[in-house]
Amino acid sequence: MVWLELLSDYTFQNVVIGASLLGLISGPLGCFAVLRRQSLLGDAISHAALPGICLSFIITGSRDIGGIIIGSLITGSAAALIMLMLTRLSRLKTDAALGACLSIFFAVGIVLLTYIQSTNNASQGGLEAFLFGQAAATLRSDLWVMGSITLVTLLLLAVFWKQAKLVTFDAEYARTLGMPITVIEASLTAMVALAVVVGLQMVGVILMAAMIVAPAAAARQWSRHLGGMLTIAAGVGIVSGVSGATISTLSRGLATGPLIVLTATVIVLISLALAPGRGLLWGVIKHYRQKSALQKQQLLYALYKHTADPSCTPSTLGSRRMLNKLKQQGYLTRSPRGDDGWGLTAQGQEEARRVVAAFEELAS
């Protein structure tokens, strides 16, 4: 009943659709950013959106979403360009240039924000909400704008799929083919700015970085192909958006943005642990399997080869758990050999002979 009520709730519908759109656009574009080793560029661009938002407010005098989008696109792209300029024309490294652009643009944003507050404009309320997002205030009209941006961005990506792919994985080869790689790189960066714009309302400028990085990082674990990775990233983005929004609505009062980000983080952790082939858990399990197989072989070898050696009794060679396990498998038995109540069964003798033969073949 709660669910039915929730689904027919107007605000909830808006938030869920908005969060899904955010996941749909930030996932795929994040993949390119992560693969091009520009994970933190999204962070810089989203912080740099703040002065754009404020500027558009100063110029238009309203919180009109169109103006805010254009403003944040301009300052976001400007920050990315200045970042590139700093690294190309001076000896600053990427990290310093990123940090400088991020913090200075944000500082300009703060200055403009306080300027707007000091001019005491009545309709300025809610500008600060863009810092952390204000999912509950999403309007239907905002959704149409966010939806169109998402659609256009994904279409552009589809049209320039081959070029984007080649520039991402082998920019030098793309250059020799005569592709305008600077243009393509710049557009991929500008598209990250578009994703940031969509996320402003939902998660705010501070946490947008995670929405670029997390779905892509999770998707990378599940797929070795760019297309698959993009699809999964979009899925992860949508799932974390929707679940974050739902938890936030059900808990009443917990901020939506952080919840979306935390959901995405949990999905990343699960992917790191469980993804087929790359998952860390499989590695750990494999390690222990090999270790116990080796112990078993050592034990059988010693029992078979050194029957006369009094120090080579089963209980000195293996742990109690190991012995019990071998007993269960039918290799050991508690009775026949008298020394400490453990001995090889017929099947154990057979297996031990095989191990010894295999080992000796290896040794020779």
Partner 1 sequence: MMAELLTTTALPIMLVGAMVGIASSAVGTFLVLRGNSMLSDAISHSIVFGIVIVWLLTKQQSGPVQLIGAALTGLLTVLLTEALASTKRVKQDTAIGLVFPALFSIGVLLLNIYANDVHIDTHTVLLGEIGFVWLDTLDIFGLPIPQALVSMSVMTVLNYAFIGLFYKELKLATFDPALAKTFGFMPSILFYVLLMLTSSTAVAAFDAVGAVLFIAFAIVPASAAYLLTDRLLMMFIIGALISIASSISGYYLAVYLNVSIGGMMAVMTGIFLMLAFLAGPRYGVITQLVKRQRARQAPVEPPPSV
Binding interface with partner 1 (CB under 8 A):
34, 37-40, 42-43, 47, 86, 89-100, 102-104, 106-115, 118, 128, 131-132, 206-207, 209-210, 212-214, 216-217, 220-221, 253-255, 257-259, 261-262, 265, 268, 272, 278, 280
For partner 1, the closer CB: 72 or 163: 72
- Closer residue to partner 1, CB minimum distance, 65 or 267: 267
Nearest alpha-carbon partner for 72 in 57, 94, 85: 57
Quick one: 43 or 142, whose CB is closer to partner 1? 43
Residues in Cβ contact with 254 at an 8 Å cutoff, skipping those fewer than 6 apart:
247, 248
Nearest CA to 33 among 179, 237, 165, 192?
192
From 71, 340, 29, select the one nearest 214 (Cα to Cα).
29
Q: How far is the CB of 288 from partner 1 (least distance, A)?
A: 18
Return the number of the residue (91 or 225) whose C-beta is nearest partner 1.
91
Residue closer to partner 1 (CB basis): 269 or 357: 269
For partner 1, the closer of residues 255 and 303 by Cβ is: 255
SS (H, E, C) 183-223: HHHHHHHHHHHHHHHHHHHHHHHHHHHHHHHHHHHHHHHHC
Partners of residue 173 on adjacent β-strands: none
Kindly state the smallest distance separating residue 20's Cβ from partner 1, in Å.
Answer: 19
Q: What are phi and psi of 312, to 5 degrees?
A: -95, 65
Q: How far is the CB of 259 from partner 1 (least distance, A)?
A: 7
- Least distance (Å) from partner 1 to the CB of residue 191? 17
Q: From CA 216, how far away is CA 235, in angstroms rounded?
A: 10
Q: Kindly state the smallest distance separating residue 271's Cβ from partner 1, in Å.
A: 9
- Quote the tokens at residue 5: 């009520």
Q: For residues 280 and 293, which CB has a smaller minimum distance to partner 1 in the complex?
A: 280
Q: Which is nearer to partner 1, 30 or 348 (CB)?
A: 30
Distance CA 84, CA 88 (A): 6
Minimum CB separation of residue 106 from partner 1 in Å reads 5
Shortest CB 262 distance to partner 1, Å: 5
Tokens encoding 13: 């519908």
26-58: b or e for each residue (b if 16 or more CB lie within 10 Å)? bbbbbbbbbbbebbbbbbbbbbbbbbbbbbbbe
Taking the complex as a whole, how short is the minimal distance between the CB of residue 13 and partner 1, in angstroms?
23
> Which residue lies nearer to partner 1 by CB, 143 or 229?
229
Tell me how many helices (H) and strands (E) the chain has. 16, 2
Inter-residue contact 20 to 209 (CB < 8 Å): no
Q: What is the torsional sign of CA 132, 138, 141, 146?
A: positive
Residue 186 neighbours by CB under 8 Å, 6+ apart: none
Instruction: Identify the residue whose tokens are 């070795």.
Output: 224
Q: CB of 148: closest distance to partner 1 in angstroms?
A: 27
